[in-house]
Structure formats: C-alpha cells, structure tokens
A and B are shown apart, each in its own frame.
Chain A
Amino acid sequence: MSLALKLLTGILIFSFPFQVFGWDWQTRVTVVVKDQPLEAVCGLLEKEYGIHFSYSRELVNLSRKVTLTAHQQRLKKLLDELFSPDDIRFTRVGDQIILSPAQRSSRTISGYIKDAVSGESLIGATVYSPALKQGTTANQYGFYSLTTVKDTNSLLISYIGYKPYLQKVTAKGNQMINVHLQPLGSLKEVVISAKEGSKLQEQTQMSRVNLSTSDLQAMPRLLGEVDVMRALQSLPGVSGGPDGAGGLYVRGGGPDQNLVLIDGTPVFNFSHFFGVYSMLNANVVKTTDLYKGAFPARFGGRISSVVDIAMKEGDMKAFHGDASLGFIAAKFNIEGPIVKDKTSFMFSARRSYPDLLINAALQAEKTLGDDGDFKAFFFDVNAKVNHIFSPKDRLFLSFYKGEDNLLLKQTTDDTSRIINSSKYIGESLRFRLGWGNTIGAIRWNHIYSPKLFSNVTLNYSQYEFFTEIEHKYKLAASGEKSDVYGRYNSVMENNGGRIDFDYRPDPRHSVRFGAITTVHKFKPGYSTFEDRDSHVIPLDTIDASMKVTGYELSLYAEDDWQIRPDFFANIGMHASAFLVEGRFYYSLQPRLGLRYLLPRNWAVKAAFTHMTQYIHLLSGDGATLPTDIWVPSTQHVAPMFSRQLAAGIAKTTANLKYEFSLEGYFKSMHNVIETRETNGIITPATTRWDENVTVGKGWSYGAELMMQKKKGSTTGWVGYTLAWSTRRFPDVNNGEIYPYKFDHRHDIELVLVQQLGKQWELSASWHFNSGTPFTLPVSTYAATEGASPWEPGTGNTSIDRFDNRNNYRGSAVHRLDVGVTWSKQKKHWTRSWNLSVFNAYNRKNPYFYFISGDAAGQKRYLSKVSILPILPSITYSVKF
C-alpha cells in the first residue's frame, strides 16, 4: 500500500464515529431500559455503540426481560450483570461479542460455621462467593449449603463480631467444609456476638428483629438481672404490661398469642415473679429472634408473634463459666467439653435469694412461731449436652426446669403471737403457691447430602400451677375444731415431634419443609378440699376436673426463591389440623414474602401471613397471671386466626454499620375471646368456660421505624411505633369497637451503648409510650339493698355506671434506665461490676388507677398508683 493510500485509509477510519471500532471492555456505556428482553439491550448496544453480538438462538436464550439503569458503566461490568444470571458466557472475537452457554457444571459446598474458640454454631453467618456474587446464610444450626459453579475458588465467610475468613476451595466436586471463625479481640471475646451477618436488603424476611447476647448483656438491668423479655419490650411494635410486667403484646396482639420457642420447644409461661422477669437466665441465651409478622411457614400455632430463642450449646474446646451476684438473684453457668471437639455440655442455675434474708430475720424474731417458715423465690436450671457422632450427625439433649415458689408456715403455741389470740388455740397455717415450666428436648441434626439437611426434634413441655393450704385451729369458747386441707392445680402439657428439612438445590432456592405433631394435654382446675375435723356434709362433690387431649398436626413447605436478580420471594404454606373431643378443625395458612431491590441498595418488602391458633388462654381482664389456664377450642369458641399484611423498606449500609427499616402493617384477629361483662360473681366451672366468654374480633395497624447502629464504640437503636389496636365483641361495650387495653398510640425506644476504652461500657435506654386506655365510670347513682327503708342495711350506697370500654387514657409512660459496666480482663478470667439504675429520674408511671373518696373535700377523684421508683442495683460477675 502506498503512503497516500495508507493516509487515506487512516483518514477514513478516523472519520467514522469513534464508537464503531473504538470499544473495549473498559468503554463506558449508558443504557436505560424498562422491562425489555436481553435481546433488545443487545440491539441497543449495537445501535448506540456499534457492539455486535453473535449467538445461536437455539443455545442462548435472550428472552428474559430486564429493567436497567446504567449510566457511564464499564461495558464488562454491564455485560456481567446482564448475562451471568442466565449463565451466558461472552467473549470478544474481533469487533464482535460471541454469546454462548456457560456449560459449567455445578458443585455444592456445605458444612457448619462455628466459633473457633468455643465451637458454638454461628446462626445466620454469611457465606459468599465474591467472584460469582452469590451467597447464602447458615441456618439455626450453623449449617450452610451453597451450590455454585465448579470453578469457584474461594468463599468469604463473615459474621459480625468475627474476623471475615476467605476459604480457599481448590478441589473439584462437592465438598464439606467446616469453617471456624475467630472472634474479634475485644472485651466481648468470650461472648458470642450472634448478630445477623447478612444485610437487611439481602433478606426477604421482614418484621423480624434479632437480639444477640451482647445486645442483651449491654442493656441496663432491673435489680441486677439481664432480661430477655425486657429487652424485647424495647423493640418497636412490642409492648409490655404496666411498667413492663405481665407479658408481651406484639402488634396489638395478646400475651396468649405469642409462640415462645426455646431451642424449638414451645413454652407456656415465659416469666418469673408475676411477669417481671423472663424464665430464662440470659447468660445462656445465644440469640433471640422476634417475628412480629411475615411468619415463615415453619412456624405456626399462635397468631401474633414468634420468639425463637437459641441457647448456647456448650464449648467444645475448653471449660468456661461465669457466676454473678445481683440484688435479686445469684447464678452460675459452666460449659465445656466432655470429649474435646466431640461432646460438650452446658449447665446453668439461678435462684433469687431475698427470701433467705427475710426468713432469717423472721426466724430470729420468731415472728412466724417456733416452726414458722417463709420462702418466696424463683429458680431455674438449664442443662444441655451435644455430641457430634460424625460430620453428618449431631445430637442435642436439653433440659429446663424453672419454678416460682411461695411458702408461708405460721405456727404458734404462744397465743400472744397470733392475730386472733382471743379466739383460736393452737392455730397453724401452711400456705404454698408455685408454678413453673419443665422442658426437655432431643434434637438430631443429620446431613443427607450436601444440599439436604434435616433436624428431628422430640420435645416435652409442661406448665403447672399449684396452690396448697393447711389451716388448723380450735375455737377457745366452743371447742369447735377446723383442720382444712386444700390443693388446686392446673397442668398443661405438650408432647411434640417435628422433622425439618433444609434443602438448597441451587443458590436461587432455599427450600424448607417438614412436619410437626403435638399432643396437647389440658388438665386445668383440678382441686381437692377437705376439713378433717368437720362433720359438715358438703353441698356437692367436686366436679371431676376437665381432662382433654388434643392432637395437632402441621405440614409446611417454603421456598426462599430468587425469581430475578433483583426480585425475591418467600412462598410458603402451613397446613394444620386439630382433633379434640371428636371435633376436627383444619386450616390452610398461606405465607408470602416479597423483596424487590431498589437502587442504592434499598429493598422494598411486603408480606402476607395467615396464622391459626387452636388453644386459648383463660385470663382475667387485668395482667397475665400464673393462674391463667389454657383450654382447647370448643363448639362455641372456634380456633383463633389472624391475617397480617405488612410492607416496608429496609437497608443495611455496605459496612454493616447502620440498619434502617420502616414497616407498615395491618392485622385482623378472629375468634379472640374476652370475659363477659356481667361475669365476676360466680367462679366459672372449668368445663363450661366457653359460656363465660364472648368471641369477637380485633384489628391492629400501624407503622414501625427502626434505625440501628451495629458497629463501632457507640451502638444502639432508635425505634418508633405508631399503632392502633381495637377489639369488638358482641357482649362487650354494646357490641361497638373499642380500644384494646394496650392500645398505645406512640411508642419511642432509644437504646445506646457506649464503649469507653477496654474496661468501661455505658448503656442507657429510654422508653416512652402514650397513655394506656382504661374504663372510667360515666356517672354514679344510688343503690338499694332491701324492700323497706325501715329495715337495717338499706343505707346510702352508690353504684358506678360504666359505659364505653376504655373511654379514658392514663398518663404517658416514660422511663430512663442507665447502666455502667467495668470489666477487667486477667490472664484466665474476667471480672466485672455493673451498676444499673432503673427509672433514673424516678418517673411515677401509672401501674393502675382507682377512684378514691375525699370525705373532707366532698369529692371523689382519680388516684394513680406507681410501683417502680428509682431502683439502683449492683451486680458482680466473674467469667473464666
């Protein structure tokens, strides 16, 4: 070619638009399409940038529709995003891009993720392939399974509180890799920081909040006790009873509508000390998940919430323990290997002790007589053993026993010490009261294949309340004797079995399915009574106590499904049936969760759930009490069910430092029960309980905002709830809708934890909720007692007229709790002091109201009673 021809060719080339020949992988392109097939995107790139695509329609399918907004994005990256979901390979040949099927076979990498120091499973740890941008999370047993292309050569395993670990994957074929993560060196290095590892936008699950041990331990304490239930009450969407006592009220639901699971076993009464403390020693809790809605299909049986608590499994490598002494209770916990890396155990015990001091004082002064005794305490013990039979088989045995007990024994021969000394001779009184849970479970984890994990559980859960009295005396004047003995008890038992499968066929599907069977045994209200020294003929014999057995069977399946790169769904179905006294109930409970990824890593989520509950709690109108009994559905009272719709947005920042979620919800509750208004004078026979309740509906709706800082020396959260909760019963409030007793319009929670150096940790939590509704009389009028005013006992007595239920709101509740912990780490152990101040500014929050009369002022007025003033406490703990 002559020089002139070369120059001419060059001029011609450069006179063409630059895009025609000038592209390479780094070329920045701009493409904006909405709901167009891949083919159209290729056409656009060809038209705008001269990038030609060559492919066979038989081998490569470009029909998938995409929505894309890419501004000045590198070509390679854009094509990666476009083609990788369909496993389409692209290569440049000249100025063409050749598209071909990837032809890469897959393999599955599975195993357990554990704490390298203790061997504890890490629930929710993230396993991620950076090259393929695919990942998964470990299940509640720490098991993960990731099916991916064969040329994956590394996996990044991460978990908050642990050093991320890059696991090399060299060999081909399926592999089982157990990963041990090193905890980050800090004060909490012996604490398992079991926070969620994955970002909110990467979870289709919504309406769930996770509380880790470190969250729990950092919260300010009430009389020295760290408490799970109180921590849950500081989350948006959750209320407690008056001053936090008496249960959980989640999204306007009742305390009977919460499914509390301890290592998968349901419990009936989750509290000690009339609802002030949880039944569990928080030191043995590994992680707590609260589901307020969007219930996965694997849960069923209650309509308003699921509290899923995982206990520590026991250190597989070394012995550890802790002991602490607070104002209310003393406790210890020990764990360690029985056979290193094969079998471990965990044992903990706790007992409240103020009664020991009170009894000593009473004995010293002989206040209760020579044989007098006084006990008022709660205790709980937890024991757990877990054994690894093989890499594929693991067994857990767990046991819990917790009780509250009250004993008062008063005897005297010295009549000057007894109240009715002028009348009684040789009086003795013995009164006992107690309630508690007994729980046992055997669980067997088995890995059938790298993609299929199973857990089989056999469990037993019992709740018993009893009270017993013995009263002896002799009347001095007549010699009349009384020797009364009575006992009342109420038992609720569950014998259950369940099998759960976790199947991960490929990264786009995470399938769980299983079956749950429960035998419910109800024995409420069994009583015996006799007066051994009386010849009085009883009015009637005691009714045989109700003993009913109910059988519940549930089947469920759910799939966490990546439908498109930016669209995910959790689709599930929970089907259950309940057979009791010849009656058969069943329900199909669809569960649906959706997640759509927005720009800037926001996710918009929505969920619909249907939940059914076959058992009811008979409770008074006030606080939840140990005497409350569970009964099955009857012909008059059908099973409860709820439908909940939730929608919201969520995001975790890239550095996992901040989390933000905003959710709205609407929940309807059907066949909820309430005591009839005219009740109250006659103790209802247990067998006819359904005649004394009215069946109605409830609605709750609202919005919850949660902003959380999860990393750094300052952590904590801000939660705000705007909520409405109402009820309607035909026999209450004239059949009109009225506010539920825990209808708090506004609820604000602020929790702040500040780490100061290596030794100091400050914490504060501030709670606010607007007033609780209650019922005030709308007028007062004269009563009458007899037919003739000339008769005695027909004086001026009054009746208060109650009309609309919950027609008044009490004053707002707010309280600041603060705590400071000082820890000193020695070579083999750590000691710490915690000073907590409950209700730091001594706010007089209402516990209940009553109407008083002021004779001098000739006025009746409303009195507010407050119970928990400023309460400082000190706890000393050692850990080794």
Chain B
Amino acid sequence: MKYFFVGAIGLSMLLSACEKREEIKLPYEGDKIVVNTLIQPDSVIYIRVTRSVPSNVYNDAGYNDIPGATVTLTANEASVLPLQVQTIKGLSYYVSSQKAILGQQYKVAVSAAGLQAVTGTDTLPPAPLVSKPGAQRGSSRVQFTLQDLPASADYYRIRIYMTDAATGLGAFLLFRLDPAFNNNMVEYFSKGNYNSLIMNDERFNGKPVNFVLQTADPIMNAGEITVEVSALTNNTYRYFSTLAAQRDAGTTLGSHVRVFTNVTNGYGIVGGINTRKMIVKIP
C-alpha cells in the first residue's frame, strides 16, 4: 500500500514533477562469480556461470560468461557428475549428463582465475500434489486443486502460460489470487497482477485447497492454458520471493531489497525445484 500512497503523492502534487539524469559514479564492489541453476528431479541440470558487472551496465543480451571457469557438480558430497558446455539460445550452460535424483543433495563449485571461488548447495523438493485444473473461454478464472503436505513447511510458485489458438505463440499471463478466494483486503489494494505467485503454506498447511486465480484479462484467444505449479526448497523460495520483492519495488531507490543468494563468496542460486504442469484445452 506504501507504493499506492507514494504514487498518490506524485499524482496529486506533482503534475509538474520532473525527471533529470544525474551523472554520478556508481559504486562497484568488483567482479564476482554468479552461479544460477534450478535443479529439477528427473531432468538434466543446467548451470549458468557468469560474472557480475557494475550496475550502470545495460545488459540486454545476457551476462558475460567466464572463460576458463572450472565448474564442479557433486551429488551427496561424493559423486562428481560430468558436465558439458552447451550453447542454448545464445547462452552458455554447463549441462550434466545425468538426471537429477530426488533425495540427493547437489553442490556446485566454481573457480576462475582472478575471481574468488564460490559454492552453492541445495536439495530437491518432492513434487507438488496438484490436480483438477480448470479454465474456460471468456472467463478470467483459472482453478486447480493443491494437496499440501502436513508434516513440512512447503513452498510453491504458480504461473499460468497461455498458448494462442491462432498463432501457437505463448506467454505467461498476469494474474492474481481471486479476491474472494484470497479474502485479503490489504493485498487486494496493495498488489497488482503478477506473472508468478510465490507463497508458503502458512495459510493452508496440510489441507487440500481449491485454488482460484484471476487473470488480468479474460481468456479469449487461448488454445490451451498451462497451469504450472512448482514446489520449491527453502533456498529457492527465498530467492524467488526476494527477487519478486525487488521487482515489485521497482527501480525506486529506497526499498533496496536484497535478493537472497546461497552462493558463498558470489551471487546467484543453486536451488531445488519440482514443477508440475497441467494443461487445459480451451474449446
């Protein structure tokens, strides 16, 4: 709600607000190794290794790889999994030859000349128990059922992907929890639509819940809707939730949300994720 008021101040007083570029030297703490990998059970592991840059660098083509970096992937602190460098969509990835296995712990270690060596470790979460997806043309509601596990603290990410019936092109939709389902007045005011909902199970621990989502626009031209529900480890949850908070705060300097990282001496995330996709054909 804070941002609503900041915006209201801006609107009401400040029709004449003016923006000016400030030429300053932004602080920079030096290059660091960035490791990004979200590990999905029963899938090969993709690890991207890049280096950080000063924050005045405009980067729309991906971040630079670190030539000559040594990347090691270890399962359960014992077996080292072989990696192979692949270029996918113009970016380099270290790809494992074996699939990740639920119940194992994975560690990624990276070293490179002139940079401090880094490591990151995480386990993998069990698959989310989801079922009964539903969506229909002309409606803005998308539904599914989630059975939460009672014994553990569970974390989830939900996304909705729409494939256009005519073009076959797809995009993630903007949505929110249906206001009647969410039953939260403060969130109704303070949050707009988002393209991924990150949450924990505090409000429904151990229960079966029929989730109702509301898309920003009614589903009109969809050929199919994919409801993607991912179970997250605590590390991945903290990474996604702080990343969403930083994006929610925008680029206004005052919120300065620090995005979680479990990569020691560097940045990024080595996190477990377990995604289930439910496809609904829209007649």
Contacts and interface: CB of A to CB of B under 8 A. Distances in A.
Interface of A: 245, 273-274, 276, 376, 406, 423, 467, 469, 475-478, 480, 482, 484, 486-488, 525, 527-531, 534, 536-542, 620-623, 625-627, 677-683, 774-790, 792-793, 796, 798-803, 805, 807-808, 811, 844, 847-855, 857-869
A856 to B, nearest CB: 9
Interface stretch (B37-45, B67-75, B77-85, B106-114): B37-45
Given A798-B59, A868-B13, A539 B253 contact: no
B180 A530 contact: yes
B139 A480 contact: yes
Contacts of A775: 253-254, 256
B176 interface: no
B170 A792 contact: yes
Contact of A852 (B241, B245, B251): B251
Contacts of B58: 853-855, 857-860
B61 to A, nearest CB: 7
B60 to A, nearest CB: 6
Given A274-B9, A480-B139, A787-B273, A869 B178 contact: no
Contacts of A857: 58
A539 B177 CA distance: 10
B29 A784 contact: no
Contacts of B16: 867, 869
B17 A781 contact: no
Query: A-B pairs with the 9 shortest C-beta distances?
Result: A477-B138, A680-B245, A531-B180, A478-B138, A527-B185, A787-B40, A784-B36, A538-B183, A620-B2
Contacts of B159: 793
A851 B251 contact: yes
A781 B190 contact: no
Nearest to B269: A784
A528 B268 CA distance: 40
Contacts of B184: 527, 529, 542, 683
24 contacts: A477-B138, A477-B139, A478-B136, A478-B139, A480-B140, A486-B179, A486-B189, A488-B189, A627-B1, A627-B2, A678-B260, A777-B55, A781-B32, A781-B34, A787-B273, A789-B89, A793-B161, A796-B61, A860-B55, A860-B57, A861-B23, A865-B17, A867-B13, A867-B17
B141 A480 contact: yes
A774 B26 CA distance: 12
Contacts of B37: 784
**Which residue among A475, A484, A678 has the maximum number of chain B CB atoms within 10 Å of its CB?**
A678
B53 A274 contact: no
Contacts of A787: 38-40, 43, 46, 273, 275
A846 to B, nearest CB: 8
Contacts of A478: 136-139, 218
Nearest to B273: A787
A796 B251 contact: no
A276 B13 contact: yes
A789 B179 contact: no
B18 interface: yes
B166 interface: no
B283 interface: no
A802 B258 contact: yes
B228 to A, nearest CB: 9
Nearest to A538: B183
A484 B256 CA distance: 34
A527 B189 CA distance: 12
Interface in B2-30: 2, 5-6, 8-10, 12-14, 16-24, 26-30
Contacts of B245: 679-681
B48 A784 contact: yes
B188 A779 contact: no
B186 A782 contact: no
Contacts of B188: 469, 484, 486, 529
B19 A781 contact: no
B46 A788 contact: yes
Interface residues of B, number: 114
Contacts of A786: 38, 273, 275
Contact of A681 (B36, B170, B195, B241): B241
A376 to B, nearest CB: 7
A851 B256 CA distance: 12
A735 to B, nearest CB: 14
B156 interface: no
A853 B2 CA distance: 24
Contacts of B234: none
Contacts of A796: 59-63, 91
Given A540-B183, A778-B27, 15 more contacts: A274-B12, A376-B12, A536-B178, A542-B184, A681-B241, A775-B254, A779-B54, A779-B267, A780-B54, A783-B259, A789-B89, A789-B91, A790-B88, A850-B250, A862-B24
A683 B21 contact: no
- Most chain A CB within a 10 A radius of its CB, from B23, B43, B259: B259
Contacts of B17: 847, 865-867
Contacts of B152: none
A681 B244 contact: yes
Contact of A800 (B5, B38, B246): B246
Nearest to B268: A781
A867 B249 CA distance: 20
A475 B219 CA distance: 11
B28 A848 contact: no
A541 B24 CA distance: 51
A34 B91 CA distance: 86
B76 interface: no
Contacts of A534: 178, 180
A529 to B, nearest CB: 5
A805 B258 CA distance: 10
A860 B5 contact: no
A416 B8 CA distance: 27
B123 interface: no
Given A784-B268, A787-B275, A778 B28 contact: yes
A875 B38 CA distance: 64
Interface in B101-160: 136-141, 159
Contacts of A423: 217-218
Contacts of B43: 787-788
Contacts of B204: 539-540
B242 A678 contact: yes
Nearest to B39: A787
A723 B172 CA distance: 51
Most chain-B Cβ atoms within 10 A of its Cβ — which of A245, A525, A680, A799?
Answer: A799
Contacts of A861: 21-23, 56
B22 A862 contact: yes
B123 to A, nearest CB: 14
B55 A849 contact: no
Given A469-B188, A621-B254, A475 B26 contact: no
A780 B253 contact: no
Contact of A484 (B28, B180, B259, B275): B180
Nearest to A867: B14
Given A475-B218, A540-B203, A851 B253 contact: yes
Given A784-B38, A850-B252, A868-B14, A542 B183 contact: yes
A865 B18 contact: yes
A805 B256 contact: yes
B255 interface: yes
Given A480-B141, A776-B27, A851 B50 contact: no
B52 interface: yes
Contact of B6 (A623, A681, A811): A623
Contact of A539 (B88, B183, B238, B248): B183
Contact of B241 (A486, A682, A781, A802): A682
A529 B177 CA distance: 14
A779 B20 contact: no
Contacts of B187: 683
Nearest to B53: A780
Given A541-B183, A781-B50, A803-B29, A621 B255 contact: yes
